[in-house]
Chain A
C-alpha cells in the first residue's frame, strides 16, 4: 500500500515544507516498494493540485475541494484523512502548526498512536525523533497497522518541485463538522523568505532591547536574502510577533547560515537552530551558552558590531 502525504498550502501555492515531507515519504516507500500519493484539500485549490502533480516520484494527487477545507480546520480535515487512510500504509504531514493540529485528531479517530516530528526513517516502521527539546534522540518502532507521522522538515532535503507528471483525481469531501468557524487572521506580511526554508537566518534576542532595533537585522537580512527570526525572550518582550520565534516551541530551522544576535542561547532556543550548518553568535557576554554551539563567535556590543557587519557586507 502506498504512502499518503498531506499537502501544506494556502489554496494558491504549495508550501515548501511539503517537498521535504515527500522526501521522507520516498524513504518509506523505498522500504515498502509502494508509491506516493498526495492529498490537496482546500477551496479553489486546483492550482495547488497542478503544482503537486509536478513533484517527481508522485503517482497520484487526490484533490478534495470544498468550503469546509478553506482554512484547514482540523475538525473538517481529520474525517477526510480518516476516510482515505484505509488505502494507505502511512500517512505523513509536515510538522507545521497545521500538521500538528490535524494529524493527532485523525490518528485518534483511527485508533493509531501517531509518531510525531520524525527526523529520520530507519525502516518502514522504525523512526528517529527528537525528544526533550532535541537533547535526546529516540528510535521508535510503531506496531499500528496504519502509521500516522509528522515530519521534521529541516532534517529531510526538499525534492524538486518540477519534473513529475502525476494524475489528479477528485475525491468527495466529508462535509463541515460545524465545530469551528474561521473569523480572521493576523498574518505577518514579508517580502523575505520563510524562516523554515530560508538559506540564511538572522535572529535577535533580548539583547536587541527594543523591537525598533530589529530594523538593523532586517537591513542585513535584505543584503543576504535572509529571513529574520527571534528568541522566545524577544517575542515574550513584545519586540516582534510570535511567528518570528525560533526554538523548540516555535519554529525549527536548519539554514546554511544562522546568525544569532544578542541571544544568550537557552536550551529552548538551541533546540530550534542547532542543526544549522554554520552558526555565528554575536553577544557581549563571553560566557553566553550560545558560544558553545557557534562555529564563529564574536564577543562584542551588538549595537556596534551589527552596523559594522552591514557595512562590511555592502
Chain B
C-alpha cells in the first residue's frame, strides 16, 4: 500500500514565539523552524509500516514556501521515499490545503493518508477531517493506535472521556495523536541519502486549486500577562491564603 504523509514546517516547538510589534502576526524572521511534532509522529508511523511490510512506498507532501523543502528532506531522512512540494508564498488555510492534498491524492492514489492531528502554529485541527470529507473517505482522528487488517482499519482514538475504538473502511485519512509512537531521529547516513531522494515541485495552479483565503487576520497580539504571584513559606500559609485572601476553598 502506498502512503501519503502531509507534513508542515512550523516554528520549532521549543522556541518561545514573539508577536510582531505591528500586530500583523508572529515573528518568523531568524526563528528556528522544524517539522510540526504531530507530523513527525505520522512519518514515523509510515516508516514503521514500511519496515513491517505493510506499506510499499511513502510520499511526503508539504504546501508552503520554498524552504518547506527542508521539512520534506527531514521526512525523507526519516525514511520516506520521495517528496512533493506545493509551492505557494501566501497564506494557506486548512480548506485550501485540503483541496491541494485532494488533488495530490487523485494523482498518487494512496491507500492511506496519515497526518498530524493539528499544527502547533495555527492550532486549527481541521485539515485531515476536511481532506477526508472532500475525498468522501472515512476519517480516524486523534489516533493513538492503528492496525490494518482484512481490508479495514482499526483505530483507537483519544477522546474526552478516554479511548474509543472504531473500524473504518479503506482508503482513509488518519490524524495522529501524541501517544501513537516516539519518532526516530534521522541518522547521518540517512540524512545524506535523503539529499538524493527526489522532490517534485508543483504550484496550486498545477493542481487546479484556488487558494484565496476566506478568513482575514485583523490583528495578532500577546495574551495579557498574569500578575506576579507570591511564594508562601508553608502549607499552613498556603491554606490560609486560599481561604482568606483568594477565598477559593
Contact = CB atoms under 8 A, between A and B. Distances in A.
8 shortest A-B CB distances, which residue pairs? A108-B130, A104-B129, A179-B138, A108-B133, A113-B214, A104-B126, A187-B162, A308-B235
A115 B246 contact: no
Contacts of A98: 159-160
A243 interface: yes
Question: Main SS of the interface on chain B?
Answer: mixed
A180 B162 contact: no
Given A98-B159, A297-B232, 9 more contacts: A97-B141, A108-B130, A131-B26, A131-B220, A132-B11, A200-B249, A243-B162, A257-B242, A312-B235
Interface in B24-38: 26
A108 B98 contact: yes
A280 interface: yes
Interface string A72-110: 011100100000000000000000111011111111110
23 contacts: A75-B138, A97-B158, A101-B129, A104-B133, A108-B95, A108-B130, A108-B131, A113-B215, A116-B125, A132-B121, A136-B221, A139-B218, A139-B219, A180-B166, A180-B168, A182-B166, A242-B158, A256-B248, A278-B248, A296-B232, A296-B238, A296-B246, A312-B239
B231 A291 contact: yes
Nearest to B168: A180
A297 B129 CA distance: 42
A200 B247 CA distance: 12
Contact of B215 (A140, A177, A224, A286): A140
Contacts of A96: 160
B122 interface: yes
Interface stretch (A54-62, A141-149, A160-168): A141-149
Nearest to A145: B214
A172 interface: no
Contact of B163 (A109, A137, A185): A185
Interface string A278-314: 1110000010000111111111100001001100110
Contacts of A115: 215
Interface stretch (B67-75, B194-202, B222-230): B222-230
A202 to B, nearest CB: 11
A182 B168 CA distance: 9
A222 interface: no
B102 to A, nearest CB: 9
Interface string A224-261: 10000000100110000111000011010000110000
Contacts of A132: 11, 17, 26, 120-121, 123
A278 B116 CA distance: 33
A111 B102 CA distance: 14
Size class of A's contact patch? 35 or more
B179 A236 contact: yes
B21 to A, nearest CB: 13
A18 B235 CA distance: 37
A117 interface: yes
Contacts of B128: 104
Contacts of B220: 131, 136-139
A126 B218 CA distance: 9
Contact of A278 (B120, B141, B246): B246
Nearest to B219: A139
A274 interface: yes
A101 B141 contact: yes
A140 B125 contact: no
Interface string A168-197: 000000000111111111111000000010
Contacts of A182: 164-166
A130 interface: yes
A113 B94 contact: yes
A117 B124 CA distance: 8
